Structure 1
Amino acid sequence: MDTYIDLKDVRLTGYVSTGLIALVAAESVWGTINDWQGGSSSWSFLAIVLVVPAAVACILWFRAATHNAEAIALRGVRTMPQVWKASDPAQRDVPFDQRVASPLIKPWQYTFLAMVLSDVLESLMLDTPVYVVFSTLSTVFALVAAGFAGFLIFRISTMQQRFAVPQRKRH
């Protein structure tokens, strides 16, 4: 028999987060294509405008997912690997300290950091010939990080839903 816990529904904030992350990545691609064609670097401003709501949505999703993970695991959960371990129904009977987090979490974190570093270097090299190199690197890292983030958000949201209290169908 499954155990059901009254959890926050993280699917909507997860979908919004993933959608906004995808928009940031798409804008990064568009901005880099524009850079290759000798266009204006003003597209970077649009990325900044999109990053703020994406960050807010991700924070809201992570807070709710962390709350759910704590309710599931009955212990303090603060990091993405801990959220994964607590949320994975396949590891429910394994002691928490022996559970395994997704192997994609570390690559996502490193790719995200590489994207941020490339963005910083890109902004420092704005009027130099290597600007396009860092713009391209930033875009590649943004696409990979967005893919990892989207997968992790979707997977954790789906796993937590398996612990949620089933809702009655309304007629």
Structure 2
Amino acid sequence: MFGGSALDTYIDLRDVRVTGYAAMGLIALVAAESVWGTVNDWQGGSSSWSFLAIVLVLPAGVVSYLWFRGATHNAEAIALHGVRTVPQVWKASDPAQRDVAFDQRAASPLIKPWQYAFLAMVLCDVLESLLLDTPLYVVFSTLSTACALGAAALACFLIFRISLMQQRFAVPQRKRR
């Protein structure tokens, strides 16, 4: 702290890598199931694949929430500032912006596209459900899948990057032999 750079000071943080990897894996599974379900829809298949997506979404949401709680805790410890949103977690976790006042830090430009892709996916899912026995069902199923793939890719990138940035502030652990 005295005479060294800000990154010379280590902070005891929660290790969010395991929950981050689990969240990314489950998010990828939900996206893959969405693709499989849409391909099945194109072939006139049943909607049972949609049920599988619902079953996978719940654990993906729970694990993502657990990761976010840990990442938020870490971001507050790093920034010594109230942190509640993904943009704030990014700002607090970015070591490149450590010497910039918190309110002047920039969040990742990929956060808004991720949020919009996720909202578009949910909207398409609702329309898909309302149009179940119509020709437009497959259109909205396809749009939902495209949005799900975009949202999943962006979410996985953001989780990975935030976890990696926070790790730079963590207390170094001794290697066990």
TM-score w.r.t. the length of structure 1 is 0.99
1:69 is aligned to 75
Any residues of structure 2 matched to 1:115-134 within 5 Å, and which?
A: 115-134=121-140
User: In the alignment, which residue of structure 2 is the partner of 1:93?
Assistant: 99
In percent, how many aligned pairs have the same letter? 83
Match of 1:159 in 2: 165
Q: Deviations over 1:5-56 (max 9, x none)?
A: 0000000000000000000000000000000001111110000000000000
Amino acid corresponding to residue 59 of structure 2 in structure 1: P
1:147 aligned residue: 153
Separation (CA, whole Å) in 1 of partners of 2:9 and 2:39: 50
In structure 2, distance between residues paired with 1:80 and 1:97: 14
Return the alpha-carbon distance in structure 2 between the equivalents of residues 143 and 170 of structure 1: 39
Matches within 5 A, 1:96-111: 96-111=102-117
* Residue number in structure 1 paired with 2:144: 138
Q: How does 1:23-62 map to 2 (within 5 A)?
A: 23-62=29-68
> Number of matched residues?
171
One-letter code of the match for 1:43? W
Q: Secondary structure at the match of 2:83?
A: coil
Q: CA deviation at 1:148?
A: 0.2
Amino acid at match of 2:18: L
1:84 aligns with: 90
What is the CA-CA distance between 1:116 and the residue it aligns to? 0.3
What is the match of residue 168 of structure 1?
174
1:75, CA displacement in angstroms? 1.1
CA distance in 2, matches of 1:170, 1:49: 38
Distance in 2, Cα, partners of 1:69 & 1:145? 23
Give the superposition deviation at 1:149. Answer: 0.1
CA–CA distance in structure 1, aligned partners of residues 19 and 95 of structure 2:
21
Report the CA distance between 1:113 and its aligned residue. 0.2
Alignment partner of 1:4: what SS?
A: coil
- What are structure 1's unaligned runs of at least 5 residues? none
Aligned to 1:7: 13
After TM superposition, the score normalised by the length of structure 2 is 0.96
Q: CA deviation at 1:146?
A: 0.2
Question: Runs of at least 4 residues of structure 1 off by over 3 A?
Answer: none
Give me the whole-angstrom Cα distance separating, in 2, the residues matched to 1:98 and 1:153. Answer: 22
